[in-house]
A and B are shown apart, each in its own frame.
Chain A
Amino acid sequence: MHDALQFLGYFQDYQLTWSFLLDQLVAGLTLGSVYGLIAIGYSMVYGILKLLNFAHGEVFMIGSYIGYFVLTWLGGAADPDLPIAIVIALMFVAAMLGAGALGVVIERFAYRPLREKRAPRIAPLISALGVSFCLQQLAVICFGSVPKQYDSFSFDGGSLFTRVSIGPFEIQYMQVFVIVVTALLMVGLTIFVARTQVGRAMRATSFDLEAASMMGINVDRVIVVTFLIGSALAGAAGVMNGLIFQNVDPYVGFQVGLIAFAAAVIGGIGSIPGAMLGGLAIGLGRAFAVGYVSSSYQDVIVFAILIGFLLLRPSGIFGVPAPSKV
């Protein structure tokens, strides 16, 4: 196989090694984990309200800032006042609580009034874009526009980025951390949605909001919980993004948010596992495009493939085609 591929004259030796393949796989999984966590928020809100919450990327940005300020408050990465594990745990808790609360506030003041007035569907969409720009500009005013650096490479002299050898490939502790935390959050969310009363109410509301309301479900409460959870996950993704990719600035949420939105659509918008799979697909697509084709065309390659996929399956990986009413 190796010889056959090399015979094609395209691939170079290093590209045909297991270690390079697995390195790109880990890079893609790490990036995809961040996209996936954000995509879940898009998907959950859309599943229940049929609303594209374009402010979600900015919730991710605020979560990342909260993580940064907690880290700074606790002495910074180079010389933290507490053990690293506690510092990181506090960063996650603060970011998830802060981002979750922000999501609830956005729902309460930007979306619910429109819902109560039975505004056309375009109105909350514009409201969402407005909130997105407001948050971006408020971040510029409050935090400045120069990127803040987590400097997580300084944690314990860089030990979190130490590579561990597992068979033919190497992985950094930080990459393991991001992938494992994402998996745990996914499992927790799946159990919550499947096994708890609120989770069942969420599923019922997602299926038919009006019917759920008539069955005695407090729909407003379900929506608040949905925003709380989705935004908290975006906050967690913000901290992960800062820990592994270092920088947070007021504009970081916009592009990442768009990519996560694409991930949610690929996965089948409204589907939680679909959103995560969509995120991983884009992360892996980018990593392999850079590794095996060209970094210059990474987005062209990834999105051309995804467009092709959507042409074949418009409702995404786990999406259900909308019934056509005659």
Chain B
Amino acid sequence: MKKVIVLAFAAVAGVSAVAASVAGADSTRLGSTAAPSCSQALIALTGPYTGPAGTAGLDQKYWGRIFISNWNAGKPIPGVPAGFKRTKLKAIEADTALNPQLAATVAVQLRSNKDLLAVNGFSGSQENVAGGPILRRGGVPFVSGSATRASLTDPITPDGLVLKKQDAAGKILAPVYFRRVVPTDKRQGATDAAFVLNKLGAKSGDRVMTVDQAEAYSVPLITLITQILDKAGVNVSRESQPAAQTDFTSLANKAVAQNAKVVVLATQVASNAQLFFQQLKAKGYKGEFLATDGAFDSSQFTSPGAYISSFSLDINDVPVAKPFVAEFTRKYGQTISFGAPSFVAVQAIAMGISTSCADGRTSRGEVRRDIGKVKMKTSLLGAPIAFDEFGDVVGGVGFTMFQIGGNGSYNVVQKG
């Protein structure tokens, strides 16, 4: 009997371990040795489907699915010309949990799948830093719907996911594998800093506290915001708190004692923004609070009065998106808008693959090249989309500023 119980316990442990090992890829196989197909091209959707950013990641996944179902069904899609010959898509989905190590593991698996033509992702900047070079070495093009770290497309930085070959004028001579449909943090930093100065009323001599979460996304973004505010003569208190450490009480004490006019938090964990704001209010903080796009999650960050920036519009307000939003709501419930750019990222991949399949054959190299040539006159976001030589979006939307209302709703206060 004793042995049976021990064996049962071991079996439960074994099942858990297997569940853990498959958590990185929640659908179909990741590895294959066959060649890419133009009859049904294989792509990967990646995102943080579990972990603290799970809500945002699932939103991205669902928008990716919505695109694929409409694309395969031949339905009209904003930015896809009438008569455009579509190559049907099949997708595998992989969870990266906002974890760079997991993203690197997933990248190795995806790279080894010879069927696979392109990847939607990675979602987080730190995941691109870890997994991007692996995809690049496998020749896999990848398009992100949310990674905003500016250095990802800067060839002269260590993070630059383009090859570092340029001519004397700085023109890129080598292939670009990474592209994104969202603006960079240079734009977000500038937008947020301008919002702090112009709308939230921080003036020269005022105190503003800026807080990062000690990872690849928030540190450069907060550095940029801090630099702009510094130049404007604002007295900036630069702070840092690791994302896994969820006690902001000491920082809240400091913000109140400093009489900070604004607190700016860059985070990818919406519940951290919620907690920090609540702890500030509990300490009697009277100033304003601004969180960056990583905290954009109307189910987790719901504190009335707080501000938040986002690279996505409120997708419910975009006329061309209405039927897609309705379909999303019917299938998955309310969208938080965060994942809408992922629809466009998958669309860029789909159009690139279809163009490369014009002669009935394709390869990762052709897809990479043809994604770069994609030009959408409009898109789900209500704006045109194309890519520059570095992989950054041309057109697209800027950063929109929202304020959280009394019922937790995100209300636009400044359009991007």
Contacts and interface: CB of A to CB of B under 8 A. Distances in A.
Contact of A31 (B239, B244, B249, B257): B249
Given A30-B249, A146-B55, A172-B282, A140 B254 contact: no
B6 A109 contact: yes
Nearest to A148: B271
Interface in B3-47: 5-6, 9, 12-13, 16-17, 19-20, 23
Contacts of B284: 163, 170
B240 interface: yes
Nearest to A174: B282
Interface in A272-312: 286-287, 290-291, 294-296, 298-299
B258 interface: yes
Interface in B204-246: 211, 214, 238-242, 244-246
Contacts of B240: 294-296
A12 to B, nearest CB: 8
Interface stretch (A67-75, A131-139, A202-210, A220-228): A131-139
B251 interface: yes
Contacts of A294: 239-240
Interface residues of B, number: 47
Nearest to B58: A146
A172 B253 CA distance: 12
Given A137-B19, A140-B23, A295-B241, A147 B250 contact: no
Main secondary structure of the interface of A (DSSP, over half): helix
B97 interface: yes
A14 B6 contact: no
B300 A17 contact: no
Given A137-B23, A146-B54, A161 B282 contact: yes
B271 A291 contact: no
A246 B97 contact: no
B274 interface: yes
A189 B59 CA distance: 47
A134 B253 CA distance: 38
Contacts of B51: 145, 249, 251
Given A141-B19, A145-B51, A172-B282, A134 B244 contact: no
Contacts of A296: 214, 238-240
B250 A295 contact: yes
Contacts of B283: 23, 163
Given A15-B257, A146-B52, A134 B282 contact: no
Interface string A176-211: 000000000000000000000000000000000000
B52 A249 contact: yes
A291 B250 contact: yes
B239 A255 contact: no
Contact of B52 (A23, A137, A145): A145
A130 interface: yes
Contacts of B274: 149, 246
B172 interface: no
B388 interface: no
A113 interface: yes
B278 interface: yes
Contacts of B16: 133-134, 137-138, 141
Contact of B9 (A109, A140, A145, A251): A109
Given A109-B6, A145-B54, A158-B282, A246 B251 contact: no
A133 B244 contact: no
A125 interface: no
Interface string A245-281: 1110101100100000000000000000000000000
Contact-residue bracket for chain A: 35 or more
B105 interface: no
Contacts of B97: 145
Contact of A110 (B9, B23, B50, B242): B9
A20 interface: yes
Most chain A beta-carbon neighbours within 10 Å: one of B214, B244, B281: B244
Contacts of A149: 271, 274, 300
Given A245-B275, A251-B244, A27 B249 contact: yes
A144 interface: yes
B317 interface: no
Contacts of A140: 23, 50
A291 B256 CA distance: 12
Given A23-B253, A113-B6, A147 B300 contact: yes
Given A141-B19, A246-B275, A295-B240, A20 B257 contact: yes
A46 interface: no
B250 A24 contact: yes
Given A109-B9, A246-B246, A153 B282 contact: yes
A286 B259 CA distance: 22
B20 A133 contact: yes
B247 interface: yes
Contacts of B281: 153
Contact of A290 (B246, B254, B275, B300): B254
Interface of B: 2, 5-6, 9, 12-13, 16-17, 19-20, 23, 50-52, 54-55, 97, 211, 214, 238-242, 244-247, 249-251, 253-254, 257-259, 269, 271-272, 274-275, 278, 281-284, 300
Shortest beta-carbon contacts, A-B, top 10: A145-B50, A290-B250, A14-B257, A161-B282, A296-B240, A27-B249, A295-B239, A146-B54, A137-B20, A23-B253
Given A15-B257, A146-B55, 17 more contacts: A20-B253, A27-B247, A130-B13, A133-B17, A133-B20, A137-B16, A137-B19, A140-B23, A144-B54, A146-B300, A158-B282, A163-B282, A163-B283, A172-B282, A245-B247, A255-B245, A287-B249
20 contacts: A14-B257, A23-B283, A30-B249, A113-B2, A130-B13, A134-B12, A134-B13, A137-B16, A137-B17, A141-B16, A145-B52, A145-B54, A146-B54, A146-B300, A246-B271, A247-B246, A252-B246, A291-B250, A298-B241, A299-B242
